[in-house]
Amino acid sequence: MSTDQGVVYLVGAGPGDPGLFTRKGEELLARAEVVVYDHLASPRLLDLAPPEALRICAGKSIGHCTLSQSEINETLVEHARAGKRVVRLKGGDPFVFGRGGEEAEHLRAAGIRFEVVPGVTAGVGVTAYAGIPITHRDSASAVAFITGHNGPNAEGGRLDWQALAQFPGTLVIYMGVTRLEAICHTLVKHGKPDSTPAALIESGTLPGQRTVAGTLATLPALVKEAGLGPPALFVVGDVVHRRPSLQWFEDLPLFGQRILITRPQDSARTSAKVLERLGAEVLVAPTVEIRPLDDFSELDRTIARLAEFQWLVFTSVNGVQAFFDRIEALDLDLRAVGHMKFAAIGPATAEALRRYYLRADVVPESFRSEALAEALAERVRGTRVLLARATRGRVVLKEELLKVADVEQIAVYQNVDADRLPESVMARLVDGSIDWITLTSSAITGRLHEVLGPELRERIGRTIKLASLSPVTTETASKLGWSVAAEASQYTWDGLVEAIVQASAINEKRRP
């Protein structure tokens, strides 16, 4: 038995932004067999677990996957005793108002080995994203983390509110939004000036983050007017005054934008990071999956006679990876293609070649099959060309090159249509809380159209904007009755992101 079987890892998921997740947490999720997660943990983190891992929602918030704490404890013990690697994914940090200590004690009493992986707690992460430093040399040299769950008037409360009112630093109050007025009143009653700066931060570190700042006297009314609610963090102290000069998250170019990526899972993970760095919330729902071939015999026979070809042409990053994965599987190395010249449809594909220490001899200025055919026409005249591609796709490249060269086309991987979109994504589409959908190929566009019902199809391109990677993809969307709000000028993922940024900036200027 592996040494990490029958173990529970209490892992902090951070305050919401999946980019704040720790490297150790990511490593453990990648090997998890069971994931028991809080509803506040980012859904993007669940994508890091193996597809076959059992996922159990254990949130205790009203209306969210209600498992009692004792049920959570027993669930962890049950799966660990079955020899499973269990990740208990907890919002924020496991030991900061997360009952991680209780769960660890229960595991110890049951004889189950556990490890704790700290996470970024909301009191540090959320405040930083709101531009409020919890300590500052000129404002506060101490900070207190407080739970407002029971409120200041609860019987048997363990907090000394009089002492907290006199605390010479920043108060960071978790779970206090529903008792905000009572907490403000109690602090003032015990001596905290009603002019003390205070702020409430809703959905901190997420694109829906909203911050209202005022004083202990004015904040409850301001929060009520703005309609803020949980999850929220309440901050009291002079450091709140620093927010106007230190806020940064809300200034990111895609802050507040909710974007659905429909690329295959492996590509989507890298793509999502680019959007998240710009402030967007990202959902991933592949409409097409990239998979190995079911039968490698034809590819293997072609690889065995690579000496017959002078050119090897790739039309995707996936094609490069799949081809050289097979080269390695056959116990060959780069000498098998040492005599060949290479063409790549775009810079991303060329970069994939460079990872194998190969340089593309041809990369067209416009990253389309037509442009690649034009760039290659004179170079490949009279030669033998091998096109490495997916099991399906456009045939224009082969047809154009056949006019000047002897061309063979070989499938090195397959595209498989997704049966449906995840239920969580469908719910977001239905409730209108997605702003953009990215389209990176005609196949992806067509499949998205197929998996959506008639009502949602009508909303795509209208209330939900589309961003297209290329004119070819845009044309496919148009034939399906969809209008595209942003099209990449350079047919790369970075070009598509830039198109969304520019379109979002224009829309922002048009707002009254």
60 in catalytic set: yes
Number of domains within the chain: 4
- 90 occurs within a structural domain: yes
Which residue's entry shows tokens 């090195």? Answer: 412
In terms of Cα–Cα distance, which of 150, 133, 378, 319 is closest to 238? 133
Tokens of 163: 């002492």
In a domain, 305, yes or no: yes
- Please indicate, yes or no, whether residues 281 and 303 belong to a single structural domain of this protein: no
Q: Would you give the DSSP letter of residue 257?
A: -
pTM score, whole prediction: 0.80
My answer on whether 233 and 296 are in the same domain is: no
Closest CA to 366 of 441, 469, 440, 275: 469
Distance CA 280, CA 501 (A): 10
CATH number of 504's domain: 3.40.50.10090
Catalytic pick among 38, 341, 435, 465: 38
Residue 1, in any domain of the structure: no
Strands 311-314 and 341-344: parallel
Q: Is the peptide bond before 231 cis (omega within 30 degrees of 0)?
A: yes
**CB-based contacts of 263: which residues, under 8 Å, 6+ apart?**
271, 284, 286, 438, 440, 444
**Domain limits at 194?**
124-251
Active-site annotation holder among 60, 194, 266, 417? 60
Is residue 337 assigned to a domain?
yes
Residues 413 and 423 in one domain: no
Q: Is 426 a catalytic residue?
A: no
- The CA distance from 450 to 461, in Å, is 15
Does residue 2 lie within any of the structural domains? no
Q: Which of 17, 90, 175, 192 is catalytic?
A: 175
Q: Give pLDDT tens digits along the chain (512 positions).
A: 456 779 999 999 999 999 999 999 999 999 999 999 998 888 889 989 998 999 999 865 545 567 889 999 999 999 999 999 999 999 999 999 989 999 999 999 999 999 999 999 999 999 999 999 999 999 999 999 999 987 787 766 789 999 999 999 999 999 999 999 999 999 999 999 999 999 999 999 998 899 999 999 999 999 999 999 999 999 999 999 999 999 999 999 999 999 999 988 877 888 898 999 999 999 999 998 889 999 999 999 999 999 999 999 999 889 999 999 999 999 999 999 999 999 999 888 999 999 999 999 999 987 778 889 999 999 999 999 999 998 887 788 999 999 999 999 999 999 888 888 988 899 999 998 999 999 998 889 999 999 998 889 988 888 899 999 989 899 999 999 999 999 999 888 899 999 999 998 876 654 44
Q: Which of 256, 205, 253 is nearest to 232 (CA)?
A: 205
Strand order in the sheet with 384-390: 288-291, 406-417, 384-390, 311-314, 341-344
Looking at the structure, tell me whether residues 413 and 474 fall in a common domain: no
Residues 319 and 331 in one domain: yes
